[in-house]
């Protein structure tokens, strides 16, 4: 992104010591006769999350008569381009909902306030180091991480029961255990053990590859170099092997994750790998009486690590009222508030207090025990700091992985395509 530089030197400890109005540009406003007004652009799109978000805003406004937060609905479809325009024109919202992968570039351009001084210490200490690292740029905390996705294996219990297999019960499940489970189902029922929608495989491979220390890149920014060796190829090779032996339904490899679900509901295969958010739809979309369970997080030789790309709340550096906006962020991050957002999205809440609140409310049922456990290994991945990663992902990696899964190239060909492709996009 070609972003103008903004000086952020005025964001000091004194700024956060009170809720006094601050000078500058931005969308916030105030007058001698009324409260400070802040614009909060939310991207919540599920009805449950929109309701939870509105309640948080209403509760904050009721508790803070000198500050009024106006809730504005945004969209994930165009938020990046919209923010580029808003930042360039000095009209960005005071409080911005987005995700860390997108906000990193804006932070590097100087558009975001450093929340390090103003973030509630109790909130900050409740965020795992791996997740906090994902919202830290050049030593500055540029956002509060809210909720995150992890990949989990979900099982239709009937095919598992029909096969008489034993499901791993520990905190994690190794890839070897996963493959063996799928093979047992296939051999005893004649049906594939797994259906895995990998029409767009790159994010899945990059995330789960961390469990084998597969980082794909060294360095950051424009100077990053690509690294595709045995650790990076481990996940695609294991998935291809499962498809080759019939324990994974080959037809699902060209489908999206959601496209696979109807066949899973119908028992055409026992297991499916999905983002945790998918569990939120099982209760409404699956047939009545459908019995499912979330399995332990997949673990490779380096554990159950996955990439942390949290949804975030940031404050515009141009806001007239950075302190007040940060105060709202702290309010949003309170355990009961963040738990309500996590439940609406079926995503891992970023703070320990919110995680416990969800577990207490749900008793760990409906996959929540496994969702919360899977989040403990989330960490910032090297590719999240690589300038040309989005272009490489779309133009090079996705078609190369698709060719590999279709059997049209081998591991050596995949390695060459990924490596040579990086050279073409990172000139």
In the block, tokens 């973030």 appear at 119
* CA–CA distance, 108 with 101 (Å, rounded to integer): 12
Instruction: Read off the CATH number of the domain in which 303 is found.
Output: 3.40.190.10
- Would you place residue 385 in the very low, low, confident or very high pLDDT band (cuts 50, 70, 90)? confident
**In the chain, pLDDT over 90 holds for what percent of residues?**
87
Q: Is residue 3 part of a domain?
A: no
- 289: pLDDT confidence band, cut at 50, 70 and 90? very high
Q: Judging by DSSP bridges, how do beta strands 147-148 and 348-349 pair with one another?
A: antiparallel
- What band does 29 get if pLDDT is binned at 50, 70 and 90? low
Q: Among 379, 397, 417, give the residue marking a domain's end.
A: 379
414 occurs within a structural domain: yes
Distance between CA atoms of residues 10 and 15, nearest Å? 8
Q: Does 245 share its domain with 112?
A: no
Say yes or no to pLDDT of 176 above 60. Answer: yes
Structural domain includes residue 23: no
**Dihedral angle at the C-alpha atoms of 323, 320, 112, 334, nearest 10 degrees?**
30
Residues 60 and 110 in one domain: yes
Residue 5 lies in a domain: no
Question: Which of 52, 108, 44 is closest to 73 using CA atoms?
Answer: 44
Identify the pLDDT of residue 25. 44
pLDDT given at position 398: 97
pLDDT of residue 26: 56
pLDDT band (50, 70, 90) for residue 167: confident
Residue 285 domain-assigned (yes or no): yes
130-163 pLDDT tens trace: 999 999 999 999 999 999 999 999 999 999 999 9
**Is 18 part of any domain?**
no
Report the alpha-carbon distance of residue 377 to residue 315 in Å, rounded.
27
Instruction: Decide: 370 and 297 in contact? Cβ < 8 Å.
Output: yes
- Supply the pLDDT for residue 379: 95
- What tens digit of pLDDT does each residue of 407-423 get? 999 999 999 999 999 99
Q: Could you tell me if 257 and 405 lie in one domain? A: yes
Do 163 and 286 belong to one domain?
yes
Q: What's the rounded mean pLDDT across residues 263-273?
A: 97
Burial class (CB in 10 A: 0-12, 13-18, 19+), 356: middle
Helix 335-345 to helix 322-332 angle, to the nearest 10 degrees?
70
Task: Indicate the pLDDT class of residue 30, thresholds 50, 70 and 90.
Answer: low
Residues 287 and 162 placed together within one structural domain of the fold: yes
Rounded CA separation 106/121 (Å): 24
* Cα–Cα distance, 114 to 7 (Å, whole number): 12
Question: Is the domain of 100 the same as that of 40?
Answer: yes
Q: Is the pLDDT of residue 1 over 80?
A: no
Statement to judge: residues 220 and 92 lie in one domain: no
Residues 6+ apart with CB under 8 A from 370: 152, 294, 295, 296, 297
Q: How confident is the model at residue 368 (pLDDT cuts 50, 70, 90)?
A: very high
Phi, then psi, of 58 in degrees rounded to 5: -65, -40
Helices (H), 245-386: 257-265, 279-285, 322-332, 335-345, 352-362, 368-375
- The neighbour count for residue 161, using CB atoms within 10 Å, is 11
Confidence of residue 123 (pLDDT cuts 50, 70, 90): very high
Q: Is the dihedral of CA 117, 118, 124, 129 positive or negative?
A: negative
pTM of the prediction? 0.89
Pair (394, 258) in one structural domain: yes
**How far apart are alpha carbons 95 and 23 in whole angstroms?**
16
Q: Are residues 269 and 398 in the same domain?
A: yes
pLDDT, average across residues 6-30: 39
By DSSP bridging, strand 144-145 and strand 140-141 are unpaired
Claim to verify: residue 275 and residue 413 sit in the same structural domain: yes
How far apart are the C-alpha atoms of 209 and 198, rounded to whole Å?
15
List the one residue out of 240, 173, 148 whose CA is nearest residue 201: 240
Q: Kindly state whether residue 217 falls inside one of the protein's structural domains.
A: yes
Give the span between the Cα atoms of 306 and 409, in whole angstroms: 26
Q: Tell whether 287 is covered by a domain.
A: yes
| 320, HSE (Cβ side, Cα atoms, 13 Å) | 15
Structural domain containing residue 61: 36-148+309-379
**Same domain flag for 299 and 411:** yes
pLDDT reading at 13 higher than 70:
no
Of the residues 379, 395, 412, the one at which a domain ends: 379
Q: CA-to-CA distance for 390 and 223, rounded, in angstroms?
A: 15
Q: How many domains does the structure of the chain reveal?
A: 2
- Return the percent helix, strand and coil in the chain, to nearest 5: 45, 20, 35
Same domain flag for 107 and 41: yes
The DSSP bridge partners found for residue 97 are 313
């Amino acid at each position: 992104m070609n972003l103008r530089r903004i000086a952020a030197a005025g964001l000091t400890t004194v700024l956060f010591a009170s809720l006094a109005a601050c000078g500058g540009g931005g969308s916030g406003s105030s007058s001698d006769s009324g409260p400070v007004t802040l614009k909060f652009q939310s991207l919540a799109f599920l009805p449950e999350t929109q309701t939870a978000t509105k309640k948080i805003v209403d509760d904050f406004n009721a508790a803070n008569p000198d500050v009024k937060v106006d809730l504005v609905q945004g969209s994930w479809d165009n938020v990046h381009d919209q923010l580029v325009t808003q930042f360039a024109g000095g009209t960005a919202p005071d409080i911005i909902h987005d995700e860390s992968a997108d906000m990193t570039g804006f932070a590097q351009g100087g558009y975001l306030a450093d929340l390090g001084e103003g973030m509630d210490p109790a909130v900050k200490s409740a965020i795992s180091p791996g997740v906090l690292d994902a919202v830290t740029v050049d030593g500055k905390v540029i956002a509060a991480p809210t909720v995150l996705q992890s990949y989990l294996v979900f099982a239709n219990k009937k095919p598992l029961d029909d096969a008489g297999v034993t499901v791993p019960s520990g905190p994690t499940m190794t890839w070897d255990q996963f493959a063996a489970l799928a093979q047992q189902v296939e051999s005893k029922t004649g049906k594939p053990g797994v259906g895995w929608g990998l029409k767009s495989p790159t994010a899945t491979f990059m995330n789960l590859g961390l469990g084998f220390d597969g980082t794909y890149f060294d360095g950051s920014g424009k100077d990053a170099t690509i690294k595709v060796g045995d650790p990076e190829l481990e996940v695609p090779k294991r998935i291809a092997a499962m498809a080759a032996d019939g324990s994974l339904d080959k037809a699902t490899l060209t489908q999206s994750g959601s496209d696979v679900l109807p066949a899973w509901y119908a028992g055409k295969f026992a297991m499916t790998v999905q983002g945790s958010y998918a569990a939120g739809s099982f209760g409404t979309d699956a047939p009545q009486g459908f019995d499912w369970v979330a399995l332990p997080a997949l673990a490779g030789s380096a554990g159950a690590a996955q990439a942390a790309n949290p949804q975030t709340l940031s404050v515009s550096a141009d806001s007239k009222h950075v302190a007040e906006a940060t105060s709202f962020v702290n309010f949003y991050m309170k355990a009961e508030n963040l738990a309500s957002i996590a439940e609406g999205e079926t995503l891992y809440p970023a703070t320990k207090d919110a995680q416990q609140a969800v577990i207490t409310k749900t008793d760990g049922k409906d996959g929540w025990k496994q969702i919360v456990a899977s989040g403990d290994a989330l960490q910032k991945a090297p590719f999240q700091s690589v300038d040309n990663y989005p272009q490489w992902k779309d133009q090079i990696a996705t078609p190369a992985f698709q060719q590999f899964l279709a059997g049209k190239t081998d591991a050596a060909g995949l390695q060459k395509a990924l490596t040579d492709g990086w050279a073409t996009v990172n000139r």
